[in-house]
């Protein structure tokens, strides 16, 4: 389609549907800064939870000539609804799409969606060529651009040095107000050296780095202008030792309270000197590492061309854990080739045993363009026809087994990753399910399912009640740690679902006895009012009583054992 504009500049809106409001699209910002000085260009962001009809109405009200949309796996369904609504309302509106979901199969989307152009790859400069051609009525047969009359499978790579000369996408005036409340996505490099067959990054060739001065100048700006969360998009942040150490040292030297930084790292490549440095110099909670382990089964890793030394990886993770400075997020994928239900259970247990704060249990998705999707028949894969293309089964794991892993994953998120049950989980895994971590979440998931417990729309107290009943079914008595975990969410003594261990008369006697213990009160800076109005009392295993004090001043929570005697 060609459109020559002689009367007024062509107006273009760039947009996307983020998964959550807190997320931001770096792609839109790059496209904007690369082309804003040549064209009448602006960008708008929405979320997948918003009504596509309302989004279409808002975009149409802007009276633009072109809409460019970034499409990813999480927003593909809603984006299709949006482009249909836009074209039905204004057939002459030019629609350009790009992004990882569409760029590897442009002919499919041009045939199935009412769109005009698909851009393949990094489109910062390609978009400008395309808009110029449309505006001047020239040919749109441009490298990396597909249309119904011209399919081009080129995946374009932008010149990093030229990108670094553009106005910064990290310093936009449009982001000033919301920056402290949203995630800032940052990249110091593009590309990935690895060939994991399930990942789109494996299709990129080489790794390209932004100039160090450019990286530092933009990070300095974000630190000084209110950023609270910076997520680095580099596929393997610690690939280049000199680069990694330089960025880490810069961030530590410019640390600001309230800022956290998140990186995807390859744990095999973490060397001892760097770990020692981080364990010594890094402020606690400043860095968060995401480490994709995916599987500990070597035949599986070979099948998907994933190089991994689990022994070295585990050693490095333990050293980081021992340092206590970095929050770790470890990833597993269920449904990879050759990994049966029992073998996946072993992978899970080996990874969970490392003790990370979060363990992400994901499910294989057969992404468009990946080699594993191309080779799906070799491994007997059956997968969803629509995004997110999650597998249903393969030759080594059945649909019923994957359904059980889904149940276990729900339990993992609710009872481990949420951080709400730290004391209870510590006892569970130390005394009752030692080394059998997956078995615990699996059995809890089966218990949930058999009792029709809700996975959504529950109250906090329900989570504790469900776990309490499950543990009772296993003849495991963890009432006290459960209470302690439950209490930690409140500033005043809550009513629990569990049976009271002390009757009202005995509790009253205890409160009086404790209130008379002046040495105890003085030691813990308590008084009679706090004891009577802000304290829960439970028997302790030592024959005394645990006092949980709910104090709003400074969010102070006290767990105190009183070993006195009632008179």
CATH number of 11-146: 3.40.50.280
Q: Prior bond to 388 cis, omega within 30?
A: yes
Residue 480, pLDDT > 90, answer: no
Output the 3-class SS for 396-462: CCCHHHHHHHHHHHHHHHHHHHCCCCHHHHHHHHHHHCCCCHHHHHHHHHHHHHHCCCCCCCCCHHH
Per-residue DSSP letters for 480-522?
Answer: HHHHHHHHTT-SSPPPPSSPPSS-HHHHHHHHHHHHT-HHHHH
Instruction: Tell me the pLDDT tens digit for each residue of 130-180.
Output: 999 999 999 999 999 999 999 999 999 999 999 999 999 999 999 999 999
The answer to whether residue 554 scores a pLDDT higher than 70 is no
173-204 tens-digit pLDDT: 999 999 999 999 999 999 998 999 999 988 88
Topology match between the domains 11-146 and 170-397 = no
- For the chain, the structural domain boundaries read 11-146, 170-397, 398-490, 504-562
pLDDT for residue 557 is more than 70? no
Residues 215 and 263: their CA atoms lie apart, in Å, by: 15
Distances in Å between the Cα of 65 and the Cα atoms of 82, 90, 116, 125 are 16, 10, 12, 19
Lowest mean pLDDT among 55-69, 398-412, 468-482: 468-482
Three-class DSSP category at 272: helix
522, 514 contact by CB (below 8 A) = no
With 70 as the cut, is the pLDDT of residue 526 above it? Answer: yes
In this prediction, residue 466 has a pLDDT band, given cuts at 50, 70 and 90, of very high
If 0-12 CB within 10 Å is exposed, 13-18 middle and 19+ buried, where does residue 36 land? middle
Superfamily in which the 170-397 domain is placed by CATH: Aldolase class I (3.20.20.70)
- Residue 451: CB partners within 8 Å, gap ≥ 6? 466, 469
Whether the pLDDT of residue 555 is over 50: the answer is: no
The lowest-confidence range among 67-71, 204-208, 289-293, 391-395 is 204-208
pLDDT category at 544 given cuts 50, 70, 90 is confident
* Contact (Cβ atoms closer than 8 angstroms) between residue 325 and residue 282: yes
Residue 205 has pLDDT above 90, yes or no: no
**Both tokens assigned to 450:** 């058999």
The pLDDT of residue 151 is: 97
> What is the share, in percent, of the chain residues with pLDDT greater than 70?
96
User: For residue range 301-356, what is the model confidence (pLDDT) as tens digits?
Assistant: 999 999 899 999 999 999 999 999 999 999 999 999 999 999 999 999 999 999 99
pLDDT at 497: 65
Please give the Cα distance from 479 to 465 (Å, whole number).
10
> Exposure of 102 by Cβ count < 10 A (0-12 exposed, 13-18 middle, 19+ buried)?
buried
In this prediction, residue 514 carries a pLDDT of 86
Q: Which helix (H) or strand (E) holds 312?
A: helix 310-323
Stronger pLDDT, 480 or 241, i.e. the higher one: 241
DSSP letter string over 118-151? EE-B--HHHHHHHHHHHHHT-----TTEEBTTB-
The reported pLDDT for the residue numbered 528 is 82
pLDDT of residue 7: 55
Comparing 4 with 269, the larger pLDDT belongs to 269
Q: Are 263 and 237 in contact (CB under 8 A)?
A: yes
């Amino acid at each position: 389609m060609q459109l020559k504009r002689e009367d007024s500049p062509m107006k273009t809106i760039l947009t996307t549907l983020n998964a959550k409001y807190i997320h931001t699209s770096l792609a839109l910002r790059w496209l904007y800064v690369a082309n804003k000085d040549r064209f009448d260009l602006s960008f708008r962001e929405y979320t997948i939870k918003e009504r596509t009809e309302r989004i279409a109405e808002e975009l149409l009200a802007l009276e633009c000539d072109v809409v460019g949309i970034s499409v990813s796996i999480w927003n593909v369904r809603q984006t299709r609804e949006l482009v249909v609504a836009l074209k039905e309302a204004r057939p002459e509106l030019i629609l350009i799409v790009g992004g990882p979901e569409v760029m590897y199969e442009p002919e499919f989307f041009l045939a199935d969606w009412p769109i005009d152009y698909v851009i393949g790859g990094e489109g910062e400069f390609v978009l400008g060529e395309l808009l110029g051609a449309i505006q001047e009525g020239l040919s749109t047969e441009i490298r990396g651009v597909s249309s119904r009359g011209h399919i081009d499978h080129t995946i374009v790579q932008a010149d990093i040095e030229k990108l670094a000369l553009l106005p910064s996408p990290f310093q936009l005036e449009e982001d000033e107000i919301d920056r402290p409340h949203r995630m800032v996505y940052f990249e110091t490099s593009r590309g990935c050296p690895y060939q994991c067959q399930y990942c789109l990054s494996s299709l990129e060739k080489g790794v390209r780095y932004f100039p160090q001065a450019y990286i530092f100048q933009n990070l300095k700006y974000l630190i000084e202008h209110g950023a609270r969360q910076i997520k680095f998009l580099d596929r393997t942040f610690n690939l280049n030792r000199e680069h990694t150490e330089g960025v880490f040292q810069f961030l530590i030297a410019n640390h600001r309270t309230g800022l956290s930084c998140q990186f995807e790292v390859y744990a095999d490549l973490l060397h001892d000197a760097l770990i020692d440095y981080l364990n010594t110099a890094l402020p606690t909670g400043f860095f968060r590492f995401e480490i994709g382990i995916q599987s500990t089964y070597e035949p599986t890793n070979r099948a998907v061309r994933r190089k991994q030394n689990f022994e070295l990886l585990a050693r490095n993770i333990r050293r980081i854990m021992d340092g206590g400075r970095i929050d770790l997020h470890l990833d597993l994928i269920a449904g990879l080739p050759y990994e049966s239900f029992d073998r996946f259970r072993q992978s899970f247990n080996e990874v969970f045993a490392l003790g990370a704060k979060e363990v992400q249990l994901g499910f294989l998705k057969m992404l468009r363009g990946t080699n594993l999707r191309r080779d799906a028949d070799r491994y007997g894969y059956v997968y969803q026809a629509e995004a997110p293309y999650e597998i249903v089964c393969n030759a080594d794991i059945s649909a019923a087994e994957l359904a059980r892993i889904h149940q276990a994953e729900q339990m993992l998120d609710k009872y481990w990753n949420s951080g709400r049950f730290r004391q209870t989980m510590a006892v569970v895994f130390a005394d009752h399910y030692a080394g059998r971590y997956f078995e615990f979440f699996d059995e809890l998931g089966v218990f949930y399912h058999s009792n029709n417990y809700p996975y959504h729309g529950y109250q906090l107290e329900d989570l504790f009640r469900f776990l309490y009943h499950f543990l009772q079914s296993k003849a495991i008595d963890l009432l006290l740690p459960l209470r302690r975990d439950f209490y930690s969410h409140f500033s005043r003594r809550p009513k629990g679902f569990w049976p009271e261990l002390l009757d009202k008369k005995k509790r009253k006697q205890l409160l009086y006895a404790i209130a008379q213990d002046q040495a105890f009160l003085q030691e813990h800076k308590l008084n009679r009012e706090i004891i009577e109005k802000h304290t829960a009392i439970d028997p302790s295993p030592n024959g005394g009583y645990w006092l949980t004090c709910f104090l709003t001043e400074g969010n102070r929570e006290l767990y105190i054992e009183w070993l006195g005697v009632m008179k």
